[in-house]
Amino acid sequence: MRTPTLVESLPVANTLGEGVLWHPAQQAVWWTDIQQCKLYRYRLADKDLQVWDTPDRLACFGFIENSEQLIAAFDGGFALYTPQTGERHWLSQPEYHLPNNRFNDGKVDRQGRFWAGTMVEQGEPQSIDEQASIYSWGDSPCAVKHLAGFQITNGLCWSPDSRTAYVADSPMGVYYAFDFDVASGSFSNRRIFATTPEGISPDGSCVDAQGNVWNAQWGGNRVVCYSPQGEVLHQLDVPVSQPTCVAFGGPDYSWLFVTSAREHLSATQLEAEPQAGNLLIYRTDTEGLPADYFRG
């Protein structure tokens, strides 16, 4: 595997860039700045950058085929959201009773369901019911809880055959693998897939066509590519200390998009890493997989 080449660093200076996805029909990359309540779309061909204000913090989202609407997880729950009009229709707010939590990472699975996990944003949970959890939307008229007991859920993705699911608990520095039942959406056989050193946290991920897991690592200045067995295959050093999420895209799915954050960085740190918060675009020799459309 050749080292990916940085071809563009888009100077958007996101506070907390996240949730990056490639839209094949539009030939555009989409992502969110959670803390600044912004949604971005960037078309590679003409370098057109569109920015929308979101009604609340938009944590993650998925595309709906032939629709301007997005299936989205705002900080408070699941919703249908139309960026062009700003209209939002709430679907479910399963942790409305937990004001210290907010939604975080998520994406659409290959069966067309939308998944999103929460995080403990402040305070100390007093029970497992107050800790972060993972929910799905699409198979029933309400959000369904599948996993619980996390501090910050992250890195949710699936193997190409959907039989393995990956979920990280960022503050713990642990990335888990689960057996995944495609029909029911249930998780079983939890095991440790990978761990990160102290001070480095597994963040957003994607899976390539070979089943390798690409993981942005907050605090580590790097994106790590793991084999399906958890072996480190490649480490991509990036010019930002807080890479947050990754996705493959481009005309042949060989471009790697990496969001990043400026949050919590001092003036001295920002001076040392002027690209913090930018969208980084790399050319690779790896084939990625397309994002799945919501069909719930």
Tens of pLDDT along 169-216?
A: 999 999 999 999 999 999 999 999 999 999 999 999 999 999 999 999
Tens of pLDDT along 44-91?
A: 999 999 999 999 999 999 999 889 999 999 999 999 999 999 999 999
Mean pLDDT of all residues in the chain?
Answer: 96
pLDDT band of 296, cuts 50, 70, 90 = confident
The whole-number pLDDT of residue 122 equals 86
- Whether 97 has a pLDDT exceeding 80, the answer reads yes
Q: How far apart are CA 101 and CA 161, in angstroms?
A: 32
Q: What percent of the chain has pLDDT over 90?
A: 93
**How do the domains of the chain map onto residue ranges?**
5-283
Catalytic, 46? Answer: no
- Whether 130 has a pLDDT exceeding 90, the answer reads no
Q: Note whether 60 and 116 are within 8 A (CB).
A: yes
Structure tokens at 263: 């949050």
Q: Note whether 111 and 294 are within 8 A (CB).
A: no
φ/ψ bin of 101: left (φ > 0), alpha (ψ from -120 to 50), beta (otherwise): beta
- Whether 261 has a pLDDT exceeding 90, the answer reads yes
Q: Note whether 106 and 59 are within 8 A (CB).
A: yes
Question: Per the residue annotation, which of 75, 203, 208, 292 is the catalytic one?
Answer: 203
Q: Superfamily for 5-283?
A: TolB, C-terminal domain (2.120.10.30)
Q: Is 230 exposed, middle or buried (0-12, 13-18, 19+ CB in 10 A)?
A: middle
How many CB atoms sit inside 10 A of residue 67's CB? 12
Q: What percent of the chain has pLDDT over 70?
A: 100
Tens of pLDDT along 131-159?
A: 999 999 987 778 999 999 999 999 999 99
The whole-number pLDDT of residue 3 equals 87
The whole-number pLDDT of residue 140 equals 75
Residue 295: partners with Cβ closer than 8 Å, 6 or more residues away: 65, 111, 112, 113, 138
The whole-number pLDDT of residue 123 equals 80
DSSP string, 22-76: EETTTTEEEEEETTTTEEEEEETTTTEEEEEE-SS-EEEEEE-TT-S-EEEEETT
How many CB atoms sit inside 10 A of residue 37's CB? 17
